Structure 1
Amino acid sequence: MSAQSIADHPRRRMDAPINAERHVNIICVGAGASGLLLAYKLQKHFQNFSLTVYEKNTEVSGTWWENKYPGCACDVPSHNYTWSFEPKLDWSGVYAGSQEIFAYFNDFSRKYGLGKYIKTEHLVSGAHWNHQKGGYDVTAKDLKTGKEVHDHCDILINASGILNNWRWPAIPGLDKYKGKLLHTANWDDTVSLDGKHVGLIGNGSSGIQVLPAIREKVSHVTTFIREPTWVSPVQGLEGHVYSPEELHDFATKPGTLTEYRKNIERGLNGQFGIFLKGAQPNVDTRKYMLEQMKEKINNKYLEEKLIPDWSVGCRRLTPGINYLESLTKPNVTVVYGEINEVTEKGCLSDDGQEYPVDVLICATGFDTTFKPRFPLIAPNGKNLQDVWSGEPQSYLGLGAAGFPNYMIFVGPNSPIGNGPVLSAIEAQADYMLKMIDRFQSQNITTFAPRQEAVDDFINFKNEFMTKTVWFDPCRSWYKAGPDAPITALWPGSTLHYIEALMEPRIDDWEIKYAGNRFTYLGNGYSQTELDPTADWGYYIRDHDDDGPLSTGGKRKLISKSGTMAGNSGVVFSGYKEEKAQL
C-alpha cells in the first residue's frame, strides 16, 4: 500500500512518512476565469486529489461567454488581461472585445485539458455541512435533464464571480413594456437594432460601451442617465489596433511582448495614488479628466449634468471610447433624471415626459451583494446568505468566519476595481492551494477564519477607506449605498494585496485536527529517504545558496529590486511608451 493511500485513513497515518498527502476531494462552483485557474494550478501542483467544477452555462469562461452585447470589451489593456504566465500573442488591439477574451479562456481550458474536471449546465443549488463526514454535501441541478445531482467534498470553493449575476432594474412597470426588452448581460442576438428607436438605461461600464457601438445603426437613441460619472479614455490608448509589425514583433522577438506587458503593468500599478483623497495624482487626474470631458462633450447643459462633484475614481473609471462624443450626436437624446416607471411604449421620466422606444436596453448591472447564489449552511446551521444579507464581511476577500473548508475567489474587499484583477486572482489561487496543501498533508479536518481576525480586518478596512475617494458619497457597486461601507474593494493597491497573501497567517485561522495534531509526523521516515531517485544529502553544499528567510528579503528577490532605474505612471500608445500627461 502506498504512502498516499495509507494517509487516506487517519488512523493509519502513523504507518506513513511525514507529510503523506491524503486524498482530498474539492468542488468548485463556476468555470469562469477563477475556476479555470484553480483547475490548472491543482493539476500542475497536486497529486491525490479529485476536482469537480460545476458550471451553469453551456461553455466555460463565465462572464466572457455570457456577455455578447454590442461594444462589449474589457476596460483593462488586453495584454494585461491574461494570466501572468500565459500571454496571448495576437490580441487585435489594446482593448479586446468579449469574443476574443472568451476565446482566450476557452483556449486556456482546452490547452491544459481542464474540461475533464468540468460539468457544464450544472447549477449548484445548495451546500450543507455534513457533521458525520465533515465537508459539504453539495446539490446541483443538471439543466439538461432536470435531475438533481448529489455530491460531497472536503473543500468547497466558490468561483462564481461578482459581475455575472445580472438583474433587471427595480423600475415599476418593466413587465408592461410591449417592445423588445434586453439586458446587456443576457443579450439576444436575434433582435435587430437596425433603424430602430432604442432606449438605453444606464451609464456604467456596459452602457458606456453600448452607445457608441449601436449609434450608427439605429435611427435614434434615447439614453436615460440618472447620475454623473467620470468618463475619459486614457490618452494614447483609444482603440489602438495593433499593426502587422507589432504583432510580428510580439510573436517572433524574444522578450518584446513580455517587456511590453511589464510596462503596462508597471503603469497600472503606479497609479494607486489616484484613489487617495488629496494626493497629487488624484488632483492632477481630476484636472486632466475635467478638461477631457469638457472638450469631448462641448455642451454646457451636459457638462453640468454629467461631470461629477465627487472625486475621480469613486465609481469605476471607464475608458469610454467615443461615448462622450456620441451624447451630442443628432440622433442621440439624453434624458437626465430618474425613470418613474416603464410604460407599454417606453419610459416615463421624472420630467413628466413619456419617451416611446422600439427596443429598451437595460445596462443596469448585477447583483453585487456577495451573497452566495445558493444556501450555504455552516456546522452551526447558519446560512451565509443570511449572515451576509446586510454587510458582507470576509477574511481578506477569501473566506468567511464560521464556514470551515470554504474559500471564495474575489470575495468582499478584494482588489476588483482598483488594479489588474487577474493578478489578484492568481494570488488568491496560490493562497488557497497553500491551505489545501496543509489540509492534505497535516491531518487537518477543518479550517476557517477566526471571527476576531475578520473583525480586525473589517475595522482596519473601514478606517483606511476614509482616506480614499471611494468614501465619497457617490452611488457605486463598490458599496450598498452612497454612505454605506465599501465592500467591494481592497484597502490598498494590487501589489499590496499580492504581498498580503504571499504567506497564510495561520494564527488567523481556526484549525482542527483528526486526533493528535502531530500524527502527520507518521512513522519516522521522510518521504525523501523512501524515494530512491532523490538526493538523500541534498542539504550539503559548497556555499550558502539559501533564498531569503525574511519577508523583506523575499519581496526584494521576487520583485527584482535594484533592477529598475525608477518606476513612474506611464500610458501606452500602441507599441510605444510615453509619460502620462496627468
Structure 2
Amino acid sequence: MPTDKRPLRFVIIGAGMAGMLAGIRLKERGDTDFTIYEKGDTVGGTWRENSYPGLACDTPAHSYTFSFATNPEWSAFYAPGPEIRAYFEDIADRYDLKSQISFNTEIASCRFVDGRWRIVTTDGRDDVADVVIAATGVLHHPAMPDIPGLASFAGPYFHSARWDHSVGFDGKRIGVIGNGSTGVQIVSALSKIAGTLVHFQRSPQWIMPCPDLKYSDADKQAFRDDPAKIEAVRNGPEASARRARFTAAIIDLDSPELAEIQEIVERNLQDSIRDPDLREKLRPDYRAACKRMVFSAHYYNAVQRPNVEVAVGTIERVEAAGIRMKDGSFHELDVIALATGFRVDQFVRPMIVEGVGGQSLDVLWAEHPRAYYAVAVPDFPNFFLLNGPTGPVGNFTLIDIAEAQWTYIDQLIDLLRAGTCDAVAPSRAALENYEERRTEAAKRTVFASGCRSWYLDKQGVPQVWPWSYAYFQHVMATPNLDDYDLIQRY
C-alpha cells in the first residue's frame, strides 16, 4: 500500500452495486473517511427498486458477482432478483458498509467551491468532500409512458419499478405494456395465474434462447469445494466465446458473429411458435441486437397459453375499463403493469452539479450526457462516474465494467493521495476527441442499424461504447495523463 501524503474526504452517491464497490475498495486502501449517500432505505440499487414477478438477471449469476466475492450459493444459472438483492445485502454486511451509508438521503446539489465539493442533501444537510464518486446507476428514474387517458383507468396501474404488491393477480385481466426484458419476464410469470393477459408491444423483440438451468445441492457443494469451477463459469472458454461473439456482433454489422446471432434468434422464433400468424406477429423488422438483447427460456411458451394475447401496434388511449388500440380494438382490463423502462439519460440528475466557476453539468449535457471514457468530465475536478454516460452498459457485465473503471479512477485518486496535484479532470480537448471518435464508431454499430431504442440520443446516435471489450480493458488499465489537467490549487 502506498504511503499517502494527503488525507482525503470522499462522498459516494448511491449504494447500489457500484457505490458499494467504491466503498469496499476505498476501505481496502485505508481511505475510511467517506460517506455513501443512498436515497433508498437499503442497498442494492436496481435490485432494491425492482421486485416485480419473474424478476431475474439476464447475465449468468456467477458473472454478476464481484470478482473478490464470488457466491457458490446461486440457485440458478440466471439468478432470480431476490437472490441478487440478498447477495448485495450480504456484501454490505460482510464489508461493514452500512455504518457509513446515510440511507433515505438524496443529494440535492454538488458544487465545486474553493477546491472542494460542497454537498447539500434534500433535507438540508451539508457535507464537504475532496472527491465525489457518482455511482447513481442508469436504471432508477422510471419512464412513465405518455398515453392519453392513463389516469382515467379505473383499476390499479403502476410502473414495474414501483410494483404494488397489495394487488392480487390470480384470475385477473392483466395488461402489460412494454416488451423489453422486464415486460418479457412479467408476462412469463403472470401468464401462469392470469385470467387473461394482453401483452402490448409497440414492436416485437428478438428473443435469445437461454438455459433454464437450476443448480442442485451437489452443484453448489462443488462450487464451494472448488472455486475454479466458479471461475470457469465466469471466464472459461464458453463464457469468453460468448462475450467475444456478442462484442464482435455489435461493433460490426457485417460480422459472421452477428449473422450467427441472427440465425439463432430466427430459429428460436421458428421452432418455438407453432401458430404461423402469431409467429409473424412476433417477428421484428430490424436486425438482432439492434435493441438490447432479450434472453428468455419461457416467453414463447407463455404467449402460446390460451389465456394470453399479443397486441402489436399503437395504443390509442386508455379508458376506464381498459385499453383501446389505434386499429379500434379494445381490451378490457382489471390491472395494468407498465414495463416502460427508465429515463436513461438522467444519470446523476435531477441533482444539481456545478463545476469550476459554477459551470453546470446540465448545460454540458444539454444535447446528451457526455463523459471522457464514461468516467470523468472536464471542469468538474475530482468528480468521477461509475457506469457513466457512453459506457458499455449494454455490452458487457456491469460489475466487470465497474471494477475496471474503479481501477482507472483509483489511479487518478492516487495523484491526489500523493500530493502530485490538488485536483484532476480531463481536458476539454480530450473529451471532444473522445466524443468525435466514439460518435463515428457508434454510427457503425448494430445499435444504429434501424430500430428505436433507449440507446439513441435526440439525433439518433447510439450513446454506447462502440468498441471491443479488449479495448475497454486496455484504456481502463492506465489513464493517459496527457489527456488530463493536473491542477495544483484553486
Could you tell me the TM-score, scaled by structure 2's length?
A: 0.95
Report the Cα offset of residue 340 of structure 1.
2.0
Report the Cα offset of residue 512 of structure 1.
0.8
- Cα contact 1:269–1:493 (8 A) shared by 2: no
Distance 1:463 1:514 in 2: 36
**SS of corresponding position for 2:185:** helix
Distance 2:324 2:128 in 1: 51
In the other structure, the counterpart of 1:365 is 341
Name the aligned partner's letter for residue 61 of structure 2: S
Report the Cα offset of residue 175 of structure 1.
1.6
In the other structure, the counterpart of 1:210 is 186
In the other structure, the counterpart of 1:121 is 104
Report the Cα offset of residue 46 of structure 1.
3.2
Match of 2:205 among 211, 229, 233: 229
- Cα contact 2:443–2:462 (8 A) shared by 1: no
Deviations 1:465-512 (A, max 9, x none): 23321111211111136x61111x212233321221100111111121
Q: Unpaired runs of 5+ in structure 2? A: none
Match of 2:241 among 256, 267, 288: 267
After superposition, residues 304-343 of structure 1 pair within 5 angstroms as: 304-343=280-319
In the other structure, the counterpart of 1:505 is 480
**SS of corresponding position for 1:404:** coil
Superposed CA RMSD in Å reads: 1.7
Distance 2:172 2:273 in 1: 25
**SS of corresponding position for 2:125:** strand
**SS of corresponding position for 2:158:** strand
Deviations 1:23-62 (A, max 9, x none): 1111111000000000000000234x51111001111011
**SS of corresponding position for 1:411:** coil
Distance 1:253 1:322 in 2: 31
Match of 2:22 among 13, 38, 52: 38
- Cα contact 2:117–2:131 (8 A) shared by 1: yes
Report the Cα offset of residue 198 of structure 1.
0.4
- Cα contact 2:347–2:389 (8 A) shared by 1: no
**SS of corresponding position for 2:294:** coil
**SS of corresponding position for 1:380:** helix
In the other structure, the counterpart of 1:241 is 214
**SS of corresponding position for 2:356:** coil
Report the Cα offset of residue 254 of structure 1.
5.1
Distance 1:369 1:448 in 2: 22
In the other structure, the counterpart of 1:414 is 391
- Cα contact 1:372–1:385 (8 A) shared by 2: no
- Cα contact 1:371–1:384 (8 A) shared by 2: no
Match of 1:453 among 430, 446, 453: 430
Report the Cα offset of residue 19 of structure 1.
6.6
Structure 1 residue 26 and structure 2 residue 22: aligned? no
Q: Which has the larger radius of gyration?
A: 1
Name the aligned partner's letter for residue 451 of structure 1: R
Deviations 1:440-475 (A, max 9, x none): 212422221111111111111122123321111211
- Cα contact 1:200–1:362 (8 A) shared by 2: yes
Structure 1 residue 257 and structure 2 residue 230: aligned? yes
**SS of corresponding position for 2:182:** helix
Name the aligned partner's letter for residue 135 of structure 1: R
In the other structure, the counterpart of 1:107 is 90
Deviations 1:359-394 (A, max 9, x none): 000000001114522111122323212321322221
Distance 1:209 1:334 in 2: 15
Which is further off, 33-42 or 260-269? 260-269
Name the aligned partner's letter for residue 78 of structure 2: Y
| Change in CA separation of 1:19 and 1:89 when aligned onto 2, cut-off 3 Å | closer
- Cα contact 2:6–2:419 (8 A) shared by 1: no
**SS of corresponding position for 1:222:** strand
Match of 2:160 among 180, 184, 189: 184
Match of 1:61 among 18, 37, 44: 44
Distance 1:116 1:371 in 2: 26
Deviations 1:413-448 (A, max 9, x none): 111111122111101111111111111212422221
| Change in CA separation of 1:371 and 1:96 when aligned onto 2, cut-off 3 Å | closer
Match of 1:79 among 62, 65, 74: 62
Distance 1:450 1:304 in 2: 51
Distance 1:201 1:40 in 2: 39
Distance 2:74 2:4 in 1: 44
Distance 1:127 1:255 in 2: 44
Distance 2:451 2:42 in 1: 36
- Cα contact 2:318–2:324 (8 A) shared by 1: yes
After superposition, residues 375-386 of structure 1 pair within 5 angstroms as: 375-386=352-363
In the other structure, the counterpart of 1:355 is 331
In the other structure, the counterpart of 1:495 is 470
Deviations 1:550-571 (A, max 9, x none): xxxxxxxxxxxxxxxxxxxxxx
Report the Cα offset of residue 411 of structure 1.
1.0
- Cα contact 1:268–1:420 (8 A) shared by 2: no
**SS of corresponding position for 1:444:** coil
Q: Unpaired runs of 5+ in structure 1? A: 1-17, 142-146, 516-582
In the other structure, the counterpart of 2:173 is 197
- Cα contact 2:63–2:233 (8 A) shared by 1: no
Report the Cα offset of residue 20 of structure 1.
4.6
Name the aligned partner's letter for residue 94 of structure 1: F
Distance 1:258 1:38 in 2: 23
- Cα contact 2:137–2:347 (8 A) shared by 1: no
Match of 2:255 among 257, 279, 282: 279
- Cα contact 2:347–2:388 (8 A) shared by 1: no
- Cα contact 1:222–1:332 (8 A) shared by 2: yes
Could you tell me the TM-score, scaled by structure 1's length?
A: 0.80
Distance 2:34 2:358 in 1: 26
Give aligned-pair identity as a percent.
30
Report the Cα offset of residue 277 of structure 1.
0.5
Name the aligned partner's letter for residue 170 of structure 1: D
Name the aligned partner's letter for residue 400 of structure 1: V
In the other structure, the counterpart of 1:11 is none
Deviations 1:338-375 (A, max 9, x none): 11222222222111233221000000000111452211
In the other structure, the counterpart of 2:413 is 436
- Cα contact 1:443–1:514 (8 A) shared by 2: no
| Change in CA separation of 1:38 and 1:475 when aligned onto 2, cut-off 3 Å | same
| Deviating 4+ runs (over 3 angstroms) | none
